[in-house]
């Protein structure tokens, strides 16, 4: 598919008022995307687990009005008007108006809330943009009843990507690939696709406990970090490495090679942060307690032969990944050893899910 396939083809005059609600999860990349070109196209393919409990629930109220040149909307986040979020949403609507021209003929009131702390490295922009895109697709289905579910999910991923690249991976689940890659049938830079091959049972219902080391605003935004890859001395090699890791992980997920999974996923996490450490200007998003947790995970794995491992997003928090069969053992380890490294002892227990839903 190409961009022209996502231009709206229905009627604009059939609905005067409507409201739609959607729930979209965050995701955690196993092979990372870091570096992009306009408009929100990845420099390498990435693959992620779609999460379940870490989600954004969004309701959009639409009311017909005279068409305008820019989207007319109000935004409420967790019950409060949030004007400081509006510029990013306005930019998103500007990018998508050619594909969803109906947004210019309706005023929109957006109510959104997260099940997890905002700006804490749990990809709130991914779940937030995905939830808005899903609401728009619910509205588009009413305007164009002939649109199929498959098409609307692809378009939701396509639109969400224009707000936040990783949001393209929050529409489907439990494993989603974004970025064209020869090993992934149907893969595209324009939208995320479900991992198309049979996954070994050990990776089903995979667990993710997120240790909240720092719930504050990141010192350097992901957008700034992505832009620093343009002149990064190691960028070309990194993009090559990521695409090679997608090919390796494709086999690992099918064969159930969990020790290889651990090695690859942890290496990807550390490589992501190595790119930050070697940018110009350089920056560090990890905190001392991030490193303490990693060290404790390595010690625990060495002493118990557990299949626990970690990954990191663009922040200080640590995602602990492990098979469902080890849930009790790892939970006990977190409570006994790792909680003291979390801000106010806070952590979130999560697992993989099937993606976004309409409510």
What per-residue confidence (pLDDT) applies to 302?
98
pLDDT at residue 215, as a whole number:
75
Per-residue 3-state assignment (H helix, E strand, C coil) for 34-67: CCEECCCEECCCEEEEEEEEEEEEEEEEEEECCC
* Series of mean pLDDT values for 10-residue runs along the chain (359 residues): 92 87 97 95 98 96 95 94 90 97 97 78 81 97 94 98 96 98 97 98 97 83 93 97 98 98 98 98 96 98 98 95 98 98 94 95
What pLDDT, on the 0 to 100 scale, is given for residue 120? 52
pLDDT value of residue 217: 72
pLDDT of residue 123: 56
Distance CA 185, CA 298 (A): 35
**For 161-209, what is the HEC assignment?**
HHHCHHHHHCCECCEEEECCCCCCCCCCCCCEEECCCCCCHHHCCCEEE
pLDDT at position 82 = 85
Backbone angles phi, psi at 256, to 5 degrees: 80, 25
């Amino acid at each position: 598919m190409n961009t022209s396939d996502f231009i709206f083809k229905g009627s604009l005059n059939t609905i005067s008022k409507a409201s739609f609600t959607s729930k979209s999860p965050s995701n955690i990349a196993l092979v990372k995307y870091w570096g992009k070109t306009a408009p929100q196209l990845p420099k390498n393919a990435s693959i992620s687990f779609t999460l379940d409990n870490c989600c954004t629930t969004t309701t959009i109220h639409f009311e017909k009005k005279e068409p305008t040149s820019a989207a007319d909307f109000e935004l409420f986040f967790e019950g409060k008007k949030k004007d400081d979020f509006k510029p990013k949403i306005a930019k998103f609507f500007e990018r998508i108006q050619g594909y969803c021209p109906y947004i210019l003929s309706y005023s929109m009131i957006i109510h959104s809330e997260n099940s997890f702390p905002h700006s804490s490295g749990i990809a709130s922009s991914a779940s937030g943009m995905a939830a808005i895109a899903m609401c728009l697709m619910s509205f588009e289905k009413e305007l164009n009843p002939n649109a199929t579910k498959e098409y609307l999910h692809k378009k939701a991923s396509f639109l969400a990507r224009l707000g936040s690249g990783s949001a393209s991976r929050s529409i489907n689940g439990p494993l989603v690939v974004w970025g064209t890659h020869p090993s992934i049938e149907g893969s595209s830079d324009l939208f995320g696709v479900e991992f198309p091959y049979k996954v070994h049972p050990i990776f089903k219902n995979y667990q993710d406990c997120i240790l909240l080391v720092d719930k504050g605003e990141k010192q350097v935004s992901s957008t700034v970090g992505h832009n620093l890859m343009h002149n990064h001395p190691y960028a070309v090699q990194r993009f090559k490495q990521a695409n090679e890791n997608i090919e390796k992980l494709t086999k690992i997920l099918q064969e159930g090679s969990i020790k290889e999974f651990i090695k690859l996923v942890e290496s990807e996490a550390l490589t992501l942060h190595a790119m930050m450490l070697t940018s110009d200007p350089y920056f560090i998003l990890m905190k001392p307690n991030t490193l303490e947790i990693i060290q404790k995970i390595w010690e625990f794995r060495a002493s118990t032969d557990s299949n626990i491992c970690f990954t990191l997003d663009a922040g200080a928090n640590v995602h602990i990944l492990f098979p469902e069969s080890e849930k009790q053992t790892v939970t006990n380890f977190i409570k006994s050893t790792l909680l003291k490294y979390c801000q106010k002892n806070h952590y979130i227990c999560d697992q993989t899910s099937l993606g976004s839903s309409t409510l």
